[in-house]
Amino acid sequence: MPTVVAPIISFRWHQEYRSRPDAQVSKSGTNQFHGSGYEYNRNENWDARDFFADPTLRKNPYNYNDFGGSVGGPIVKGKLFFFSDIERITNHGETVNHGVTVPNALFRSGDLGTLCTGNGFTFSSGVCTNTAFQIYDPVSHNPIPNNDIAACGGCSPTSVASANFLALWPSGGTPVGIGTNVMTINPPYHNTDTLVNPRVDLNLSQSDHIFGAFHYDYYNAFYNNTILGPAGVGIGRGRQYASTVGWTHTISPTTLNEFRFGVSHHLGDRMPSGVGFTSPALLGIPAIPDCLSSIPDTANGTKCGTPGVSVNGYGGFSNSGMLYEPSTGLHFSDSLSKLMGKHSLKVGFQADHYSIDNYQPNGVTGNFLFNNGQATNSTGAGGGVGGNAFASYLFGRPSKTSSFQGQSVFVSSRAWSYAFFVQDDIKLTPKLTLNAGLRWQYDQSFHEIHHGDAFFDPCAVLYSGKSASCVPHWDQFGVNAPDSRRRWPAWT
């Protein structure tokens, strides 16, 4: 596949480059204009059918397109040059999701009578003759007449949140069991990636050369989970740029000085499905707070995504955590090179500053698991009989709620790194060169500017010197302390 590639320079483990064997640099223009262009395409018309796909159905839509080009040349001949390349990648289509089990129309309406009759039994005075297939009220533990939750006037009310989520749940398909249909869902996705790399070079004089280079990369992705439509759309984004300015000064035929300054920025942006469209609160689930209002795509923190739901016997809907992390780096370096007989000496220093602002509440929308245990005749003394996971779901009685993790502020970490190095390439013979060098580097520990870093003190006397009366505890409570971020949400 044709691509625009910058040249690679091998440095043979020089101490200047933190023991890295290679580094990548951008390309400069010349006194002649040069350019290139390319396009690469794949689509479902040219691809073979998935081996496991249904041959009676059309192939899933798929289109991958990668195109771009480069151009370079003189602005002022012999003095000022430019070079730039651009690449654009688009990738969209649908994935194949076979065998997704969903509740059928009767179960969705609240009529679970076939749980009894479909297993070969009958109702006597509204109660299944085999109580293993009987539904019970989760509060009174009385049997639901004919397993028809919708028609039971004196029963506990069904869940508003469950009804709201049921409207998002895919429906249809073909019967495969009692209360269950199976269907194929083809969630769509759409990804784009744009890269641009311009550079300008200036020959200021015979002794001085200055350049400036810029790199930009923006990735944008939208994808669906089991839920189709906006409630199931997740977002993945990445935006990064890097700029470098360099000045090379020739002091003498054997002495050279190089200065570099660079700024880089990276944004990690991963949003859960349903962000910007709904939230647990809008679906009727209390106690889950909004996410941070400054996070994009969340409607000022009020629409942070669709909660994860799993009902035993049916295909579940899981949701991911949220990540929004802008980071910035600064780089300063200067080096002096000297040729002395068989020796090629180089000394220099580097300084780097790192700035990372992290917002990453995992499980920001909560995840809920439903099984049959909440719709049995059990009063708590034992497991009970009967029940059904979908009945528990309709009543809004989860068997398990995963921990919710929120975050009220960014975790803002900062650090410096400093290094000094000396390198000597000694040409022992025309065919043998010895590379020798020494590097000293100090990497500062990251510190959180709001004093929000937390750590756990287990009070181990042997290691911490604490007294025997010490109680294990968290120090420096803040946005990193688990007990200040975890809650247990409820489904109603």
pTM: 0.81
422 within domain boundaries: no
CB 309 within 8 A of CB 317: yes
Structurally, the chain folds into a number of domains equal to 1
471 within domain boundaries: no
Phi, psi of 114 (to 5 degrees): -65, -15
- The pLDDT value recorded for residue 22 is 37
261 within domain boundaries: no
For the chain, which residues score pLDDT lower than 50? 1-11, 19-24, 477-488
User: For residue 165, what are the domain limits?
Assistant: 100-185+369-401
112 within domain boundaries: yes
Using the CB atoms, write b or e for 378-414: b if 16+ within 10 Å: beeeeebebbbbbbbbbbbbbeebbebbbbeebbbbe
DSSP symbol at 111: B
Take residue 256 and report the two structure tokens written for it: 């050279």
320 within domain boundaries: no
- The pLDDT value recorded for residue 24 is 46
- The pLDDT value recorded for residue 16 is 67
Among residues 72, 69, 48, 71, the alpha carbon closest in space to that of 60 is found at: 48
392 within domain boundaries: yes
- The pLDDT value recorded for residue 350 is 95
Contacts of 149 (CB under 8 A, 6+ apart): 110, 111, 112, 135, 155, 158, 391, 394, 395
204 within domain boundaries: no
180 within domain boundaries: yes
